[in-house]
Structure formats: C-alpha cells, structure tokens
Chains A and B, each alone.
Chain A
Amino acid sequence: MKQYDAVIIGAGHNGLVAAGYLQRSGLKVLVLERNDHIGGATTSISRYEDFTYSNCSYVCSLFRQEIARSLELYKYGLQVIPYAGGAQIIKNDDGSYDAMGTYWHDDANRRDLERFSKRDTNAYDRLNRDIIRQCKFIKPLLMRTPADPTSFKPRDLMELLYLGKRFYGLGKEQMHETMRFYTMSVADYLNEYLENDALKSYLAGGATVGTALGVYSPGTAYILLHHAMGDLDGNVGAWGFARGGMGAISKALNDSFLAAGGHVRLNAGVSNFTVEHGKVKGMQLENGETVKADLVVSGMDVRRTFNAIDANELPQWVVDRAKNFRFRGSSGKVNIALDGLPSFYGIPKDSPCMTGDLHISQSMDELELAYDDWKAGRWSQDPYLDMLIPSLVDPTMTPQGKHWMSVFIQYCPYKLAEGDWNEDRKNAFGNHIIDRISQFSPDFKEKVLHMEIRTPKDIEDETGLTEGNIFQGELTMDQLMFNRPIPGYAQYRTPISGLYMCGSSTHPGGGVMGAPGANAAREVLLDLGKRMVP
C-alpha cells in the first residue's frame, strides 16, 4: 500500500516548505506531525481566553521572500508587518532611569544615541556598514546548497569556485576582516567600534540568542548577522510581526500545501525509520502503525533523525557526530497576557519606541554574568530579555485595549543544577522574569493576567527541539556550512539512500527562514531528475 511519493517528518515551517515545493513539483506528499497542531517552533496558539501568543518564535525577518512568493503565501493570508521603534532602558547611577530609543529614520536615531555618546553615533554607522558588508557576502549563500570541499565532484568544485570568487571579490582588507569577524567575540568586536555600554549591550545581547556562549566567547560576533541578515521588502535588517502571530507563517505554508493537493496527518509521531540494505523503506509511528515510503525527508533535528535509525545501518562516525552535535538549550520564553499597556521607566507613555524591542541589560559585563549563571546550571539572575508587545501593531491577537508581551530570555538552562525541572521550578523561573521586568516597570505586575512559561525543557517536549535549542543546534562556526549538520552530509542527504533532512539542523540553520526546507526540496528533486516548481 504505497500511496505517497514522499513523506515529510514534522510540520515545522521547514518541513512544510519542503512539502510545498515537492507537491508543486509533481510528487504526492504526506506530512506526518507528532503534535496535534502544525508549526513546530512557529505557532500561534491561544493559552488564555481571547489572547493568542506567538508561543516560540515571535518576530520575522529571515523568512526568504522567494519562498513566500513561489508558494503564494499571500493568498493564504500571510502578512508580515515591519515594526519600528525599540528602546534600551538605562538605569543611571543616581537611581533614575532613562531610555535610548531606536528610530526608523537615521537622523532621528542618531539624535537619541548622541545623548549617550556622540562618538558612537558615527561609529554605529561604520559598524552597520561593516555588518551589511558581511551580510552581502553571506546572504546569497543561504539559498544555495553548501559545497563539500572534499568531494571534487563538478558541482562541488563549481560551488567552491563561486565561494572562492565571492571571497576574493571582497578584496584584501575585507578578507582579513571577514576572518576576524567569524572568529571574534561579539564583545571584542563591538568594543572596536563603540564606547557606550547601553548600546553595546543592546547589540551584544542579540548575538547570544540561542547559543550557550557568552558575549566574550569567541565566535559570537558572527551571530550578529542573524539579526541583520534578514530583510523585509528590501529593507535590510528590518524585522516584522506576522499578522496573527508566527503561526500565520506555518498556517499559510500548510494551506498552500493542502491547496496543491498535499496531505498532513497530525498526532502521527514517528518512532523509527525502516531501513533495508541501506535504503529507507518507511517508518513506524508511535501508535504502532507503519507507513511505507521510499523517499523520506526529516524535518526533525539531526539528533532525533539519526536516533530514529537503527545504528547498525550507520557508519559509527556518523552516529558519533549526531550524538556530538551541540544543542545545549540556553533560552527560555515567557508569553504574558496583559490587562492594558504597561509603562516603563525612562520611556514616555506615548513614545513610538514602544512598538519595537525593549531591553534592560545594562552592560556587556552584566551579560557575561548572565552566562555564568547558565554555566552553573541556574537561570540568569539578570538575563538578557528581548521584549516585544506585538498587540500594539497587530489588532488580531488580543481583545481591544489588552495586550500581550513576548519575552525571550537568555539564559535558561536545560538542566538545572538543583534538580529536574518541575512545576515549582518552572513557576519560580517565570516569576523571576516578572520580578525582573517589574524593576523597570512600575505597573507591570498588576497588569499580568496570565503567563505561558517555557523553559528549554518545555520547548523540547513540545517541539522536539533537542535540549530546547531554538536553532536545532547551535549556530557556531564549527556547525555551519559544510559542517552542518555532519561533514559529508551537509547537502541534505544522509548515509541512508532515500532519506533526506530539511530542518534547521541543516544549512543555513535556525530561525524562521525556510531556506533549509527549500534547499532540501531542490536536492531531492535533483536526485529524482525533476525540476523544482516553481
């Protein structure tokens, strides 16, 4: 009973992207999802009355516009609205508060920065220019399959040539810069440009997101790109809200896939793959059912994908690599329903800055201490918080006059030193975050109606992201490009014939980007001798 040409494991956004392309390219595709809902880490699920949260991912920039266009996501309701604003709240030595606002307009932005450091306003321009240069180098690589530098196959050589040309095209000075940039710590990198602590911590905090490294750890400067690399309608570095929450992205992908004739089965977790003579033959579901398939694309992370294969079928080094891929959950999230808009010290009530990302970290040293807590198996005393109030922009997520706030937290450990995560510890973590925010907001606590607390353990349990690592594996240099997820298997294939990978564990990595899914679909079709449509 073989009904489908291809089975995709997991209805995460990447699985759905791959499914959409394959279905439109003429295959009959089935998606199997373990949960009772689609989306993986890209969901909008109501947990309290008429409030909808973006439960995991919360802002969109990286999602490749070519995918949105080819899968016609606008037809299925996807709208990504850029947001402006944002502020870094600053606690002065005398106990008073101020805030450094972010504005869309360069000169407006500069005016506010220069209240804190005149020098940095110009240095910030230069920093941005250099980051954009790095983005320009890396961006075209996102939608390309990484070359294997050891294979000597014509396509790999061509791709290496392309890479080499781009690299040499950078010019001598920028080549040096690029090597430095990819290996430096974000703190050292920013210190070369800026002097103001508030601005530096604002930027540096973002470079630790999803990574169990501190701002002084080498390799973190690169992660700055993940914030600058995306764009919305040609505005490089711009971030936006998906109308209706991030789930709107998976919903549009899902609806587009269904409209093309695809099928999705929920509550259909895969427990293991059936492999015969090095070829995939199908899979066993958690409910005992078997599904036959000669072509399987796994959207699960690399650890889970290989755990579902009998180790006898795999070279030992591949088993080792899958085991050693670094996940290290380090992020938490609290979604909060609010009975009205809270106020923040230092930010005037009607400030346009409220519609952007709000931050309270005071210095890079504070961020490094936050990392020390993680190393010791505690959630950070003074964590880096990325706070946004999407309901200021999106009228569909809360009742009128009410709001919800998304709070992303770096760092929160997957394993606590004091013992396993349980309800009490989880609540203590949530309450700690509320207390921390309340230090900067006089009326925050009284406005809290409900909160959804998500530790790395919760994230793992719900989405299957191992150890709760938000990117399906850390985005450090050793786990990127032809090393992501496993050298020799960075081109979406596995040692098992017919079994492919399409999740964020593959190039170019995590974030709601869709690129791994699209690249994987292209590789599958290449092997089938088919052209990708559209």
Chain B
Amino acid sequence: MTSIITNNERPLSERPILETPFYPSYKHLIQNDNYEEWAGYTTLASFADVGQEYFSVRNTCGVYDLCPMIKYDICGIDAERYMNRLITRNVKKLLPKRVTYTVWCDDKGHIIEDGTVFRLSATEFRLCCADRQIDWLMDCAIGYDLVITEVTDAIVGLAVQGPVSCKILKKTGFDGVEKLKIFQLESFSLNGYEVMVSRTGFTGDLGYELWTNAINAADLWETLFKAGKPHGIRMIGSEALDMLRIEAGLIMVDVEFMSCFHTVKYDRNRTPFELGLDWVVDMNKGHFIGRRALVEARQKGLKNKLVGIDIDWNKRADGALIYNSENCERQIGEVTSALWSPILKQNIALAYLDAPYFEGNNDMWVEVYMHRECKWEREVYKCRVTEKPFYNPDRKKLTPPLDL
C-alpha cells in the first residue's frame, strides 16, 4: 500500500507565487530589489552587496532561506528497500540520523535529480531536492508498503553556514550542536518546539541546516539572528550561494545537467559518470533503477565528462566554449559555471570536456566574450584541468569546530 498525503487549500484567486514563512522576518533587510522566483516562491538573488554576502560565509556566518527546497517524507516498513531501489547509493549503510548526497536515475541510467537523503530513523527518510517528482516517487512505490508525504510547505529550512555558525547555533540554544559530525543530524528543542539540525550545506564550508515546522519560522529566525548579531550573521541570496557552491565544486540542476524528465533532446541526458559522480553509484548493493544501463555505460567509457578547470587571467568565463588550440580550431568542451574565486584568487569553472581532454594531460584554450562598456570583446585564454572541490577548508569537517 502506498499513499500520498497532500494538503492544499488555496483558491484560484490568490497570487500563485508565494512568500516563504521567513520572508516577513527578513523583509526589512532587503536593500536592492534583486528577486528571483524559485520553485513557486519569491526568493532573493541578493539582499544588499553580493561580495559581503559571499564573505559572510567564508568569514563569519551567512544564512540562506531553504524553504522552497522540495522535501518528501518517505516512511514505512518498506522505506529502506524502496530508497535502495530509487537512489544510486546504498541506504543500508546510512545509519539513522545521518545524511547522504545522492542522485537517482531512470531505467536508462539518466539522472533525474540529485539531492540529499536524511535518514530520520530506521523506517523514516526525508528526500530533499530542487525539483518536484512525486509522480515518479509514487510510480516507483508500487508494491511497497510506505507513505510518501510532500512536506515542502510544512517544513521550513535555513542554511546557517560559515566558520562562526557553530558558535552562533550554540548561543541560539542548540546545546551540544558542536558534537555533530559532518552529515549527521540531531533534534533539538528550542523555545518549546523541535528543530532538526543537520551538519550539511551547499557552500563547502562549516555549516548547518535547521529544519522546523512552518509555524515556528518567525521565532526561529528571531532567536537565531538575535544570537548571531554580535557575530556578523547576515542573510545571503542565491548569487552569493552560487559563488560558494562553485568553489565547493558542487553541481546544480539545470546548470550542470538537466533532469531527464525535462529534456526534449535525448543527447542532453546525463549519467552520473559524466558528472564525475562515480562515487555515489554503488554497483554492489544489488538492483536499483538504472543499474543495468549504468553497468553498460561504465563498460563503454565516457565521451565527455564534467571537470573543474583553472583559467589564466581574471575574467569569468561564463558560457564559454573550450578549444584544443589557441586559434580555436576544434571545440572540445564548454563551461557550465564560472567564477573568479575571491578566496582562491583563481579563475575557476566547471566544464564539460570531450575525451581524452578530461584526463587533464592537454593544454586547452577557452574563448571568452566580454561585454565591456557596451562593447563586446573576445579573448582566448589558456586553461587546464584542476582538482575539485576548488576550495575545501579543514573546518568543513573538523569536529568539534574551532570555538571562534
């Protein structure tokens, strides 16, 4: 028996794009009207200065509103068996109160989505991702005894990230939060309600994510920001987050890959291997959706692959094409995300490269078009394959974190 619980009581007349439950709390901090619609919510691309927001995460503590993240609770005696069929990782190895990053594929081994799986208990999982796919989750649940509940609107989330985040959380009232190891989660009681804290994030830094019922949103935000104020806490928007996740070498749906549920062109589908995600595919755990195709794909080898590159010079290479020679004879790849990294002082990018270039033994050139004072200029720079994550500080994993 599978069932889905939904609750939606909004009439046609209401504005279809919603504000998040935290929005009223941080509204007064919005200085420039740089909004971004995300999954049906009004969110902020930036509150004020992007550079300041970025550095708050590398220097003190930046907070990002996670409410629009899609969340599914998958509970029941068959939940573990089901999850293991759905995703590429082995959830048998995922202990309760642990979180893992994973992808899931269709039968052809093409990625549907990436996201995180929270194992709340032996029989309860929460799947967090960017894209809705309840139809797929339900179709895959045929024959399994479990209940799938979408809790996107019911559960709110805040990412609290940066070197001072642990200290602020302790001051907020999460006693013992410093004991959380990376990818571990724990429930805390705050002002009489429950908050789940997971040591997770999308920034590649020390950081936590707070989850609670939507009705507690205002109080959680107030309490957190009161405690954080002396320590440089600030709200950040998606532009800063994007810089942080590129430095961390993390991929994004609709940027590095498109869900195979949305591709019209077949050759746009991606396997986990092409994204360099071999490490999330457990071929030894038994059958899972897409396994057969992935075994075949692994044997065939890769035509191209996502890698990190480092580019000479200092201009971001957004959307640039990559060539085998300085006079741009043959295209061998393309940039998906690019950034001048303020902390590395490096011009980095995520890029797809054809074989054998992704092995990293050849020099390559990227062709960059720049709009400078209303004039387009073209430059060609040398680039090379480099290690990912680009930025990977020790404090990300250090437990307990330094008490700054």
Which residues of A line the B interface, CB within 8 A? 87, 98-101, 103, 105, 107-112, 114-115, 118-123, 125-126, 129, 132-133, 136, 171, 173-174, 193, 346-348, 351, 353
10 nearest interchain CB pairs? A108-B16, A348-B13, A107-B40, A123-B135, A122-B135, A118-B6, A111-B16, A115-B8, A119-B135, A101-B12
Nearest chain B residue, comparing its CB with the CB of A194: B135
CB distance from A128 to the nearest CB of B (A): 9
User: Is there an interface contact between A107 and B8, defined as CB atoms closer than 8 Å?
Assistant: no
Contacts of B9 in A (CB 8 A): 115
CB distance from A498 to the nearest CB of B (A): 44
Of the candidates A109, A125, A171, the one whose C-beta lies within 8 Å of that of B266 is A171
Contacts of B13 in A (CB 8 A): 348, 351
Contacts of B262 in A (CB 8 A): 125, 129
Interface string of B137-150 (1 = CB under 8 A from A): 01000000000001
CB distance from A377 to the nearest CB of B (A): 38
Of the candidates A99, A101, A129, A348, the one whose C-beta lies within 8 Å of that of B261 is A129
Name the interface size band of chain B. Answer: 20 to 34
* Known contacts A107-B16, A108-B16; A118 and B261 CB within 8 A of each other: no
* Known contacts A129-B261, A129-B262, A129-B263; A348 and B134 CB within 8 A of each other: no
Which residues between 10 and 63 of chain B lie within 8 Å of chain A, taking CB atoms? Answer: 10-13, 16-18, 37, 39-40
CB distance from B155 to the nearest CB of A (A): 16
Residue B302 lies at the interface, judged by CB distance under 8 Å to chain A = no
User: Is there an interface contact between B16 and A112, defined as CB atoms closer than 8 Å?
Assistant: yes
Of the candidates B4, B6, B16, B266, the one whose C-beta lies within 8 Å of that of A103 is B16
User: Is there an interface contact between A111 and B40, defined as CB atoms closer than 8 Å?
Assistant: yes
* Known contacts A114-B6, A119-B135, A129-B261; A107 and B37 CB within 8 A of each other: yes
Main SS of chain B's interface residues? Answer: loop
Nearest chain A residue, comparing its CB with the CB of B131: A122
User: Is there an interface contact between B134 and A122, defined as CB atoms closer than 8 Å?
Assistant: yes
Which residues between 200 and 215 of chain B lie within 8 Å of chain A, taking CB atoms? Answer: none
Contacts of A108 in B (CB 8 A): 16-17, 40
* Known contacts A108-B40, A125-B262, A129-B264; A353 and B12 CB within 8 A of each other: yes
Residue B136 lies at the interface, judged by CB distance under 8 Å to chain A = yes
Contacts of B18 in A (CB 8 A): 111
Contacts of B132 in A (CB 8 A): 110, 121-122
Known: A112-B12, A112-B16, A119-B134. 10 other contacts (CB 8 A): A87-B12, A105-B17, A107-B37, A107-B40, A108-B40, A118-B8, A118-B134, A119-B4, A174-B266, A193-B135
Tally of A-B Cβ pairs under 8 angstroms:
75
Residue B191 lies at the interface, judged by CB distance under 8 Å to chain A = no
Contacts of A100 in B (CB 8 A): 12
Contacts of B8 in A (CB 8 A): 114-115, 118
User: Is there an interface contact between A136 and B136, defined as CB atoms closer than 8 Å?
Assistant: no
Which residues of B line the A interface, CB within 8 A? 4, 6, 8-13, 16-18, 37, 39-40, 108, 132-136, 138, 150, 261-264, 266
Of the candidates B6, B12, B136, B264, the one whose C-beta lies within 8 Å of that of A351 is B12
Contacts of A114 in B (CB 8 A): 6, 8
Nearest chain B residue, comparing its CB with the CB of A87: B12
User: Is there an interface contact between B12 and A126, defined as CB atoms closer than 8 Å?
Assistant: no
| Interface-central residue, A110, A122, A173, by most chain B CB under 10 Å | A122
Of the candidates A111, A125, A351, the one whose C-beta lies within 8 Å of that of B10 is A111
* 20 interchain pairs, CB-CB under 8 A: A100-B12, A105-B16, A107-B16, A108-B40, A110-B132, A111-B16, A112-B12, A112-B16, A115-B8, A118-B6, A118-B8, A119-B134, A122-B134, A123-B135, A125-B261, A126-B261, A129-B262, A129-B263, A173-B108, A348-B11
Q: How far is the CA of A286 from the CA of B370 in the complex (A)?
A: 69
Contacts of B261 in A (CB 8 A): 122, 125-126, 129
Q: How far is the CA of A110 from the CA of B264 in the complex (A)?
A: 20
Nearest chain A residue, comparing its CB with the CB of B263: A129
Q: How far is the CA of A449 from the CA of B135 in the complex (A)?
A: 47
* Known contacts A107-B17, A119-B4, A119-B138; A348 and B40 CB within 8 A of each other: no
CB distance from A119 to the nearest CB of B (A): 5
Q: How far is the CA of A353 from the CA of B13 in the complex (A)?
A: 10
Q: How far is the CA of A173 from the CA of B134 in the complex (A)?
A: 23
Q: How far is the CA of A173 from the CA of B40 in the complex (A)?
A: 33
Contacts of A123 in B (CB 8 A): 135
Nearest chain B residue, comparing its CB with the CB of A106: B40
CB distance from A162 to the nearest CB of B (A): 19
User: Is there an interface contact between B133 and A122, defined as CB atoms closer than 8 Å?
Assistant: yes
User: Is there an interface contact between B135 and A120, defined as CB atoms closer than 8 Å?
Assistant: yes
Q: How far is the CA of A107 from the CA of B42 in the complex (A)?
A: 11
Contacts of A118 in B (CB 8 A): 4, 6, 8, 134, 150
CB distance from B52 to the nearest CB of A (A): 29
Q: How far is the CA of A119 from the CA of B134 in the complex (A)?
A: 5
CB distance from B323 to the nearest CB of A (A): 28
Contacts of A173 in B (CB 8 A): 108
Contacts of A119 in B (CB 8 A): 4, 134-135, 138
Of the candidates B12, B40, B134, the one whose C-beta lies within 8 Å of that of A347 is B12
